Structure 1
Amino acid sequence: MRKVIAALNMTLDGFCDHTAGMPDAEIHAHYTELLGRGDVILYGRTTYQLMEFWQTVLENPSEEKSMNDFAVAIDTIEKVVFSRTIHNVDWDSARLAKRDLKDEVLELKKQSGEAIFVGSRSLIIQLLNMGLVDEFQLCIYPVVEGKGLPLFEGINGRTFLKLVNTKTFKSGALLLYYEPQYE
């Protein structure tokens, strides 16, 4: 059965913000490699629209090779978008979800293939509440933002996490790998 991996960036004070951290070449390379180990990534509307930025990098490559490589990786992986407000997506590798989140994820998990990534805070919270997150990969940037969306807001109950790995980047960002221990 395929694993559901919640991969998200956050600040040291626990806020999710794709723009708060300053990913460097090493972090871009890490995420490029990670995307190569999955088949699909799930997004809510807001994160999907933020990620559309990478289409502009494909059209007008950056001087930074790691950004260009990430743009290719994010372009290649299938994206499933959950939204009640958009009715079509322009990215060739994206599609709107046909079912509700739980049913879509359970169907994807049954299929053969690689990991299912979740890159939106709202979807991560919902899936955690359903007991469907198999692994967290939290990249914590050494930034205190002081405001924003807390990652674990709206959680229904306590979930213990087992630390299974860590990775430290030269920039001081820390990647924590956790497996939820559902009660």
Structure 2
Amino acid sequence: MRKLIAAINMTLDGFCDHTAGLPDEEIHQHYTELLRQADLILYGRTTYQLMEFWRTLLENPSEEKSMNDFAVAIDKIPKIVFSHTLKDIEWNSAKLSNKSLEEKVLELKRQPGGDILVGSRSLIIQLMKLNLIDEYQLCVHPVVAGSGLSLFENINDRTILKLLKTKTFSGGAVTLFYEPTNEKTTDR
């Protein structure tokens, strides 16, 4: 069975905001390698539209090689987008899901192949509630945003995670690799 990996950047105070992190060459290289090792990535509409930025670097490369490498990797990986409002998708490597998130993910996990990534906060929350995430890779940036979108917003059950490993970046960010223990409790 394929593994579903939730990989996302966040601040020390738990907010997901693509403008709050401190992406540098090392972090771009890390995510480029993650994309190269996976077979597929899942996005919600908002994150998909934000990620379309990387298509512009294919046409007008950056002076930073790590950004260009990431642009190539994100362009190449197949993407499935979950949206109730998008009708068309122009990115050649992307397609809209015609099934519910739960139904599509269960179908994908049963298929042969490599890891499936999910990089959208909204999808991570939904998949966490469905107990379908096999691993969390939380890249915590040394920033306190003060406000924003909380990664674990509206999660009401206590979820126990087991730390598998960590990866520290020279700029101060740390990726925490966790797997769920599947122990949940609603007692507070």
Q: Shorter chain as normaliser: what TM range?
A: over 0.9
Deviations 1:8-55 (A, max 9, x none): 000011000112112111000000000011111000000000000000
What TM-score do you get using the length of structure 1 for normalisation? 0.99
The number of residues matched between the two structures is 183
Separation in 2 of the partners of 1:155 and 1:147? Answer: 18
> How far 1:181 moved relative to its partner?
1.2
Give the partner amino acid of 1:51. Answer: M
Corresponding residue for residue 63 of structure 2:
63
Corresponding residue for residue 47 of structure 1:
47
Separation in 2 of the partners of 1:55 and 1:66? Answer: 15
Separation in 1 of the partners of 2:11 and 2:116? Answer: 24
SS of 2:123's partner is helix
Corresponding residue for residue 115 of structure 2:
115
Corresponding residue for residue 155 of structure 1:
155
Separation in 1 of the partners of 2:155 and 2:147? Answer: 19
> How far 1:156 moved relative to its partner?
3.6
What TM-score do you get using the length of structure 2 for normalisation? 0.96
Corresponding residue for residue 169 of structure 1:
169
SS of 1:6's partner is strand
Separation in 2 of the partners of 1:78 and 1:17? Answer: 24
> How far 1:169 moved relative to its partner?
0.1
Corresponding residue for residue 22 of structure 2:
22
Give the partner amino acid of 2:16. Answer: C
Corresponding residue for residue 9 of structure 1:
9
Moved more, 149-158 or 29-38: 149-158
Moved more, 155-164 or 126-135: 155-164
Separation in 1 of the partners of 2:115 and 2:108? Answer: 10
Give the partner amino acid of 1:153. Answer: E
Q: Which runs of 4+ in 1 moved over 2 A?
A: none
Separation in 2 of the partners of 1:26 and 1:66? Answer: 8
Give the partner amino acid of 1:133. Answer: I
Deviations 1:41-83 (A, max 9, x none): 0000000000000000111000000000000000000110000
Corresponding residue for residue 124 of structure 2:
124
Separation in 2 of the partners of 1:170 and 1:23? Answer: 11
Corresponding residue for residue 186 of structure 2:
none
Separation in 1 of the partners of 2:93 and 2:156? Answer: 33
Corresponding residue for residue 37 of structure 1:
37
Give the partner amino acid of 1:141. Answer: H
Separation in 1 of the partners of 2:92 and 2:152? Answer: 32
Moved more, 149-158 or 128-137: 149-158
Does the alignment pair 1:142 with 2:139? Answer: no
Q: What CA RMSD, in Å, does the superposition of the two structures yield over aligned residues? A: 0.6
Separation in 1 of the partners of 2:114 and 2:105? Answer: 13
